[in-house]
Structure formats: C-alpha cells, structure tokens
Structure 1
Amino acid sequence: MSRSQTNLGWDVLLAVSGPGADQLARALRGAIRDGVLRKGATLPPSRRLAGDLQCSRWVVTQAYAQLVAEGYLEARAGSATRVHCWADEIWRPVPPKPAAPPPRYDLAPGLPDLRAFPRKRWSDAVRDALSTAPHTDLGIPAAGGHPRLRTVLAEFLHRTRGAVTNDVLISQGVCHGVTLVGRALHAEGITRIAVEEPGWTKVWRAAEDAGLEPVPVPVDADGLRVEDIPAGVRAVVVTPAHQFPSGVVLSPERRAALLSWARDVDGVILEDDYDADFRYDRKPVGTVQGMDPRRVFLFGSVSKTLSPALGIGWYVVPPQWIDRVPTAAPSVVNQLALATFIERGSYHRYLRAARLRYRARRDALLEALDPLAVSGAAAGLHLVLPLDIDASEVVDHAAGQGLKLVSLDAYRTRPGDPGLVLGYGNLADSSVADAVAVLKDSIGRSGSGSSRRRGCRP
C-alpha cells in the first residue's frame, strides 16, 4: 500500500506506506503536525476509510484510538472523529543552529594542542585495555575510580609532583572534583570558599554548584594575598604552580602563610594543579599538598595536557575526609586506557615532547609580539597582555578578522585594568605570525595601542 490517498480527511492528500495501524497513525500524525489537517477537521468513518485503503476496519480503529490517546484526535459518541489540535498548538523541535565556523586563529586560553593528540598511542591503549580487561571491569564503575588507575596515578603524582598519597580518587575533571569536594565541605558546615581574583571562573561555578559562596581574594606578583582572606572563611581554592590567568607562581613565603592560615582557622586548601606540567625555565614547582597532606586537597586532569574530550581528572583527599567526599568516576574504558598510557611511558614521552613544542611556540609568540610587553612566568599555555584601551573593543574587532581573543575581565568579578589573556596551546605554529599581525591591527584600530609600561617581558 505504498501509494497516496486523496480521499482522507475529505480529500486531503495523505501518504500512507504499509498496511498496519502504526503506518496509518504515523501518516495522520504527520498531516496534523504539518498543518495539512487543521483543528476541527472531520475524518472519514472507519468503515469508509478501511474500504478506501483496502484494509481491515480494525487497522483504522486502532490508528484512530492511538491518536485519540495522544491528543491529536477526539472522538465523541454519535459524532465523527475530528482533529483535536493543529500545527500551531503542537511543540515542534527547533532545528539546531549550525555550528559557528572555527576562528582562523585561536588565541583563547584553556586548550592544549589538539592537533598533537597522540591518536595512535591512545587508540593502542584503548584496544589493549579492552582486550585484557576482565569482563567484571565492564560493569558498573567502581566508586572512586578503577583501582588500577588510582594506583598508577598515586605513584605518578608522587614521582612527578611531590604529592604524598597512597590513593587517588578519579573524577571527570578538576571542576567535577571541586564540586564533589565542595559538597562534602558544605555538609560539614563550610559555606564560603576564598577564590583567586582574577581566576578560573569555571572553578568558581563548580564551587557554587556545591552550595558554596565564592569570596574573591586578590592576587599580586607573589600569588594569592593570604592576609586578605576574610575572617570566617575556612576553605580556599588556589593555583600555586601557575596561577590562572596572571601566570604568577605562589611564592615560598605565601605557601608558608597559606598553610599557617589553614591550621589557624582549622581550614582546608583546594589546590588546582593547573598546567603545572609545563615549566620552561626550570623544573615545575612541587605541590603544596606534599607539604601538608592533612590540610590540602589536590586536583588535576588530562584536559590541559591531552584533551578535555577524555573527561578524566583526579583528586587527592586528606585521610580524615576520605569517607565524607562523594565519588563519581568516568568511563572505565578511558580509565584503563590512561593507566596503560602512563604505565608504558607514553604519557611521560608525550609531556616531554609537548614541553619542547610549547616552549618553541611561546618563544615565537613573544618574538612576534615585540615590542608589546606581556606578563606571566615562563610556564603554562598562556600570557597576559596589558592594554591601555578597552579590551572588549579589541576582542570585537579581532573576532571580525577571524581571531579569537579573551579579555582579562572575563576572569574577574568586577572590571579592572584592561588586558588580554593570550592562550597559545591550540594555536598552530604556522599561524603565530599571522595571528599576532591581526592582534596588533585590532589594537591599533581600537585605540592608541597597547601600554608598554605595564607588565614585563619574562
């Protein structure tokens, strides 16, 4: 019966394919949704429609009954079956907007070099993890993460970051881990948490999702100003190895002051080990967690090293908190793949190559930016470019030229000195010169140009 009938709904064209009640109901439903059958339209009696379609009357009555139950039709005793609603009353799914084309040049922070993702080695790790994992590993993920990855990461963090731990919990990323820990803090009566100003706003939102109130504390050339943490606050989240976005490293004096503060107020420190793997002038600074494991939660992920698409992070919890912090682990397959990736030395080799690649790209960016002055330690995947004009004008003009930029104000609770945060992690090496040319042009067209008094060339 793959033919069109014109005597349905009193000469309304209706395409019916197949002999069953489901096919007829689908055709009538589509005609109502498309506005072909309007509200109040009378449908043919079931006997007549069955004769026209050369099918059993049961097929028609079942189709009508289904659409009455769904609200498309109404049937009253002694009256014809009618359309109960019409197209304008039916919710129609809005087609998704086409994805915006990627910018020609990406100077926004937050991403590693996605072009350099080790596809072959990662796929090998996934294949090996699936081929060797016992069938029991394919069930519901273990609370806190797979024991194998937890053990591998504990050893890795002890060896490379100076962390002191025998166990690591697995999360979907740093923000996810902060939310989980934040819920435990809130349950213990801690309702406010100090955050760096400026700082990574996604972490602020993660704390808010846990029910905590973020309290901004300023950052200077030595890092978080510990003395400015308000009275009554007993938790703080910091990025001591390489503060985002200022790029400063928490000084030894501030580290000592931060630990002293935590002991004095019986508080806790949430250490975000943000892009700590990338230091270009010397070895990365060790963790604050290693200095006082009973006061410090340590967070990390592969989002800034491999890719955020993997959705794997970790958090080290002080022993007295381990039974109070909720857990929610990501894909077991990816967990096992990461464990394999680390065990084989693939992660170490990838990081070593990435440091050389990012250092060369950073040097090329600094050379192209000259004589503009930037600030930030020789580490991480971003720089700060101070301005003496409205940064939003520069951002808007650059966007029109295919260059993605982010204002420093995007990481503040209130506007401050204008500037840009220049991320070079996902910038192609061949595009550095062209991207900076567009940047300089946007600065020149937006005002008098970048200030050379603020900041210093690292």
Structure 2
Amino acid sequence: MPESWVNSAERTGSDLHLELSASGSRRAAVSAALRDAVRSGRLTPGTRLPPYRSLAADLGLARNTVADAYAELVAEGWLTARQGSGTRVAGRAAVPAGTARTTKAAHATAAAAAAAGPAGPGRTAGEAGPPVRHDLRQGSPDASSFPRTAWLASARRALNAAPHSAYGPGDPRGRVELRTALAAYLARARGVHTSPEHIVICSGFAHALRLLFGDRVLRGPLAVESYGLGFHRSLLEAAGTPTVPLALDEDGARTEELADRPGVRAVLLTPAHQFPTGGPLHARRRAAVVDWARARGALVLEDDYDGEFRYDREPVGAVQGLDPDHVVYCGSVSKSLSPAVRLGWMVLPPHLVGAVLAAKGEREAWASVLDQLTLADFIASGAYDRHVRRMRQRYRRRRDRLVTALAAHAPHLVPTGIAAGLHAVLRLPPGTEASAVRAAGRRGIALDGLAAFRHPAATMPAPDGLVVGYATPPDHAYGPALEALSAALRPAGGR
C-alpha cells in the first residue's frame, strides 16, 4: 500500500503531499510520486518545490535520496533548478491529452460565460443575449466603497487586543465583544431593546431562517408579505414551512388579515422599508401586529435589511422595541458594508435563545471569530457610523440623479419607494413590464421586473413595474447606466 506523506515545512518551503510506493528504491519512489503529481496537474508549471533538505526531513529519507530524485527530474525536463529561484515545475512539463482537452474545454466554457455576462432578468445563465454592461439589480451595495483602510485598522486593533481564548472554542452565541457592541448600537440607532445574552450571531438572514425553521425551532405556516425574495420562500419550503401571503397597500402589509389565519403562529415582515415595493409599515399596523402576537402567543420576524438608509423621512425604529418578547429582530451588514462579510444577528426573545443555540450546534456553523472581532471594533470605534453616514449621502445623491434622469427622459414613469433603501420601483402601464425588461436587456442593463418578487399564491392585483437598484455600480459607471436606462425607457418618438 502506498505511503502518504505531507511535509510540515517548518522552516522553509511549501506543504507537499506525496504518495510513495512501498516497492522499489526510495529515490525511484520520490521521482515517480513527483512525476504523477505533475502529470495529474496537481503541481502546475512554475510551482516551487520545498528544498530537498526539508522534503527529506518530512519524508524521513536521506537528503541525498531526495536530491538525486530532484536531479533526475531536472535532467528529464520535469523540473527546473536555478540559483536563488529554487526548484520549480518546468513550464514545458507534459500534461495528459485528456487533461489538456478538458482544460481547453473549460477555458472555452468560461470564456463564453464571461462574454455572455451574468444572467440578466428574464434570461438564464448561458442563454443568448447582449452582455450585461450596467448592473441595476437590487440587493448589493457599491463594492468599490468598502472601507478597506478603516476595516484593516479595526482588524489590527481587534486581533492585538483579543484574549488567547478568542482563538479557541467559544460561545455559540458569538463573540461577546460583538454582541456587546451590537446591543449598544441597535439600541441607539434602531430602537432595539436587548442585552448581549439575547443576541445570537449568524451568517446573514438566510442563515437565521435556516436556524429558526430548518430545525423546527419555529413551525409553519408562516405569513409573509405578498412581495418578497423568492429565495427566502424557497428556503422555507425546503424546510417544510408553507408560506401564506398577506396583501400590501400604501401602508405596508395588511396585518389585519392575520386574524383570518388561525393556523398561523408567526409572520415575516420588512417594516422599516417593505421589500421591494418600498415604504414603512404604518404605525397603526405595527401596533396591531404586536397585539396579534401577544393575543395568540405568536411571533413577529422583523427583517431590518436596510434600515440605516433613509433619506426623506425620520428614522423608523424597529418593531422589536414595542415588544421584545414577541419579536425576533434580524439584521446583517450585507447592505451597509458588503455581502462578502458574512455576518448577521438575531435579537431573540429570552425563551428562544436556548432552542436557537441547540439548532446552531457544531462550531462549523459559526461565523468567523476574526470577522466578529473586527466588526465589534469597527462599531465600537465609530467607524461603522461614519461609513453608514457617508454611504447614506452617496446613495441619496444617486437616487436624486435617478429621479432627475427619469423626469427628463421618461416623465411618464414615477419612481416610488424612494424615501429609503437602495432601490426604487418604477410603476409601468399595465401589460408593459415584460417588454420594458426586454428593452433594458437589449441595452445591456440588468434589472428585475416587479413580478419576479410576487408570491405565487398572492391574490392582490399585480401592478407592472421595474425594480431599479442604484447602489451597485461604482461611481464612474453610474452615469452611463442612467443614460442607458433613460434610453430604454424613453417613450416612443421621444428624443
């Protein structure tokens, strides 16, 4: 049976896994194992091998044995050796014909995918169509605006200050530093009433839903707004949780309909800024849904996905502040910082904390401790507030540019839901949504029609509209994106 070795490279070199045959000489076994690693593509051209002394020590062989194997492969053309550059896999090292064909095919597929661009609205990946040049889909902040310098400074401070225990097994709730910072921030900025003991760190809102419903901490059916993310509905359905839609109007979800759903014990809402139609949940309905939860022993799930970004109105506090015992408040940094920072949080009623921690289970489901420590410092130092204020001003300017462009080139369209958030809804004449999405696609614009977010069981009227995200493009690309959008939406015969 072949022996497997992994070198530790304690002083120099890189880790290298080799399988040595038990038969024949040790030098021949090393040579054969290295040839196989190159042939299979595991060691690619240019890869630097560990010094023969290090590899010999890791394999438990004499130095000369590994040195002779290296010399043999250099002579055969598999490796190159230069003073100061070490021993590397040769650029002309052979690759099996099948591998080469597979690689070429993969490159061709990747090139085709790159040319086609990401799947646009109404178009699946790989389907023919113009490349996406302007990304106006909702859901992502401007990636170029990530506060790299401030984040790095927080990371350095946090890692230097962290106790040794932070680098071992910890609390499944999440790091106490982050939970403490969040408790103070959410109380100040969002009107949330909690303590660090009732906050559980997760990887985002989807992870929160999996924890709550995937392990039956909560059971369906779950009432949801008639418009929302289909991804969340699919996740819930996969967990065996049916969803029941509530109608929407200008005051948000019609929470009075909950009285007609006796089997429902939980409702999911976006009360600060209904997604995607926009607008806050009316104060009367906020109070009514809390009264319903108290009377029925039910729960309100509050998705505060972009509550920090408001422009033309006073901040709308969290529903959780009305009754912390009947509201699960969820938030994340996906909109405020970046979806690449996989950190979110649940503010739980005390009686749910133990069940959620049991559902969270093994450490593999925990968010990165290093990111938690960094975010804790980022919030506590005031850098998070400064970043949110800066981005709020930037996104407000972008929203204003969108409104101005529409007024000049498509005055028949009125943007709605623009007092807060990172997207607008453009209401369209009945029956024109699909053609408007296609017209945008022909100009390389990626955006979504309102119908894409409609619950399949919704019975309320289905207005036509476009959901236009104004946060994603970097500053230099936003102007051209608006020009393309204006051209796509300009009335027939308009200039």
TM range (shorter): 0.7 to 0.9
Matched, 1:111 2:157: no
Matched, 1:369 2:401: no
Instruction: Give the number of the structure whose alpha-carbon radius of gyration is greater.
Output: 1
Matched, 1:97 2:110: yes
Q: Say whether the 8 Å CA contact 1:365–1:432 is kept in structure 2.
A: no
What's the counterpart of residue 208 of structure 1?
237
What's the counterpart of residue 379 of structure 1?
420
Identify which of 273, 276, 279 aligns with 1:248.
279
What's the counterpart of residue 159 of structure 1?
188
Quickly say closer, same or farther: Cα 1:298–1:20, change in 2 above 3 A. same
Considering only aligned residues, what root-mean-square deviation do their CA atoms show, in Å? 2.9
Matched, 1:257 2:270: no
* Pairs within 5 Å for 1:128-207: 128-167=157-196, 168-183=199-214, 186-187=216-217, 190-207=219-236
Matched, 1:332 2:369: yes
Q: Say whether the 8 Å CA contact 2:399–2:418 is kept in structure 1.
A: no
CA shift, 1:136, in A, is 2.2
CA shift, 1:409, in A, is 1.1
Aligned equivalents of 1:97, 1:142: Cα separation in 2: 42
Aligned equivalents of 2:277, 2:435: Cα separation in 1: 21
Unaligned runs of 5+ in 1: 1-16, 31-85, 450-458
Q: Say whether the 8 Å CA contact 1:176–1:206 is kept in structure 2.
A: no
CA shift, 1:348, in A, is 0.8
What's the counterpart of residue 59 of structure 2?
none
Q: Say whether the 8 Å CA contact 1:141–1:331 is kept in structure 2.
A: no
What's the counterpart of residue 249 of structure 2?
220
User: Counterpart of 1:97 in 2: which secondary structure?
Assistant: helix
User: Counterpart of 2:340 in 1: which secondary structure?
Assistant: helix
CA shift, 1:231, in A, is 2.5
Aligned equivalents of 2:208, 2:40: Cα separation in 1: 46
CA shift, 1:218, in A, is 1.6
Amino acid at match of 2:139: G
Matched, 1:269 2:306: no
Quickly say closer, same or farther: Cα 1:346–1:24, change in 2 above 3 A. closer
Size of the aligned set, in residue pairs, is: 375
User: Counterpart of 2:228 in 1: which secondary structure?
Assistant: coil
Quickly say closer, same or farther: Cα 1:418–1:344, change in 2 above 3 A. same
Q: So what's the TM-score if we normalise by structure 2?
A: 0.70
* Pairs within 5 Å for 1:259-408: 259-325=290-356, 326-327=359-360, 328-370=365-407, 371=411, 372-388=413-429, 389-408=431-450
Aligned equivalents of 1:180, 1:294: Cα separation in 2: 18
CA shift, 1:29, in A, is 7.8
Amino acid at match of 1:22: A
Unaligned runs of 5+ in 2: 1-27, 42-96, 119-131
Quickly say closer, same or farther: Cα 1:25–1:279, change in 2 above 3 A. closer
Aligned equivalents of 1:104, 1:87: Cα separation in 2: 36
CA shift, 1:432, in A, is 4.2
CA shift, 1:142, in A, is 2.6
Quickly say closer, same or farther: Cα 1:394–1:25, change in 2 above 3 A. same
Aligned equivalents of 1:421, 1:234: Cα separation in 2: 31
Q: Say whether the 8 Å CA contact 1:217–1:225 is kept in structure 2.
A: yes
Identify which of 407, 411, 415 aligns with 2:453.
411
Quickly say closer, same or farther: Cα 1:164–1:242, change in 2 above 3 A. same
Matched, 1:425 2:471: yes
Q: Say whether the 8 Å CA contact 2:302–2:319 is kept in structure 1.
A: yes
Aligned equivalents of 1:348, 1:28: Cα separation in 2: 53
